[in-house]
Amino acid sequence: MKHILRILCLVLLPCLAVAQPAFHSVAVRPDGSLWTWGRNDNAQLGDGTTSNRRVPVRITTASWLTAAAGYIHTMAVKADGTLWGWGNNAYAQVGQNSVTQYNNPIQVGTATTWRSVSTGNYHTAAIRTDGTLWVWGRNQYGQAGNGSGALYVNVAQLGAGSWQSASAGADCTAAIKSDGTLWLWGNNMYGQIGDGTLVQRNTPVQVGGPFTWQHVAVGYSHTVAVRADGTLWAWGGNGVGQLGDGTTVDRPTTVQIGTATTWRGVAVGGNHTVAVRADGSLWAWGINTSGELGDGTTTNRTSPVQVGAGATWLPAGISAGEGHTLALKTDGSLWAWGNNNWGQLGIPAYSTVPLQIFGPNGPLAVARTAADREFSLFPTVASGNEVHYAYTGPKPEADACVEIFSLTGQRLWRQALGGATQGRIPVSELAPGWYVLRLQTGNATRTVRFCRP
């Protein structure tokens, strides 16, 4: 069986959940483990600290189903159907009736029937297994959809009916009912609701006519959706070409993007869009100042451009954040590109093209545990034939060892440290490229990447 990493961004599932506009990322692996990385000044990573993480750190030992990353909070559903949140809770977006910041996951209510969750700037939308839709958090622009006019709302069911999916954007919410109809509410400053006006909507309004919709994703100022016939539609703000219609003109009503009928998945970031076709090809458009489109440039695109030449991307595995993008391939590997100011890519690099951060067997680099913060590992390649490493910290344990792994997780070399604090590893037989160097002593590990020129 193939091991496939589930991501929510928003998608995520995301994905990897990265809901826009986020500067942190979250992912759930097939084994149910939950991993976060990136910005953490509001404890949005859930690791009990407020320290940024430039490589993935595992959150608890529980088994998780799906997760979503908001602006400065995160929500996730466990395998047992319970819902949990952490991070900033200034508007009750974590699902707690307080303004307390939560550095670790805290359960939302007692229900065990949560199916999916999506996060916006300061609000959250989730669906239970019975199809009911629940929305809470900031409501300044009507994004909670209950028409109350309150600044924020606590966890509450929104109306009646059965819902298929929901997407929480910056200050706007979209959801598809079980009958395939599309509904939106909240901020409409740029026409992102798609009802032909710029009027804020405090309760759900149907958009897109009597057609059957499959997927919808809401960003900062624009919305993109896929119909059951495989056509792609977009509306709202378009100042940097994020709608993909070849212009930079805002559209307050739905417009079809191209003529293709093979679109299967879509994700929306702050001001860029990514989508996957039925053949597995990945496409992106909109703002590209941080390389978030993955086409090797920083040029904005007003029409879809293909990301790379491959066709092995998962339609349900794409996620777009604020300036960065993550996507899954069919082999279960996770790739990232774009802005990395906060470590949201999960690798110690910035890239305008996709770089792999998770292999089918797990992350290529992991954050240090509390136990190993006392030591560091510094690899340097002195020549093409060997890599030098230096260990700084307390005396290594007797079982300490150094290992080299490929980016797919295959161990290529292992040697006992033998009490030494520095050494040289022959790498002449390795092909040029990136590798992972790991040092383990006792229960602590330190994992870093190095390049074989």
Half-sphere exposure of 393 (CA within 13 A, CB side): 20
| Dist CA 299 CA 28 (whole Å) | 32
Tell the CATH topology of 370-452: Immunoglobulin-like (2.60.40)
pLDDT by residue (tens digit) across 240-296? 999 999 999 999 999 999 999 999 999 999 999 999 999 999 999 999 999 999 999
pLDDT by residue (tens digit) across 124-165? 999 999 999 999 999 999 999 999 999 999 999 999 889 999
Place of tokens 């590893």: 425
| Dist CA 91 CA 186 (whole Å) | 16
Question: Which residues touch 373 (CB under 8 Å, ≥6 apart)?
Answer: none
Tell the CATH topology of 8-363: Methylamine Dehydrogenase; Chain H (2.130.10)
| Dist CA 62 CA 78 (whole Å) | 8
| Dist CA 284 CA 228 (whole Å) | 21
Inform me whether the pLDDT recorded for 431 exceeds 50: yes
What is the reported pLDDT for 318?
A: 93
For residue 284, what are its two tokens? 């992106």
The C-alpha angle with vertex 117 and arms to 114 and 121, in degrees rounded to 5, equals 145
| Dist CA 351 CA 69 (whole Å) | 21
Percent of the chain with pLDDT over 90: 64
pLDDT, mean over the chain: 86
pLDDT by residue (tens digit) across 178-206? 999 999 999 999 999 999 999 999 999 99
Domain limits, the chain? 8-363, 370-452
Beta-carbon count within 10 A of 61 CB? 8
Question: Which residues touch 440 (CB under 8 Å, ≥6 apart)?
Answer: 399, 400, 401, 403
For residue 69, what are its two tokens? 């990353």
3-state helix, strand, coil in the chain (%, to 5): 0, 50, 50
The pTM of the full predicted model, rounded to 2 decimals, is 0.80
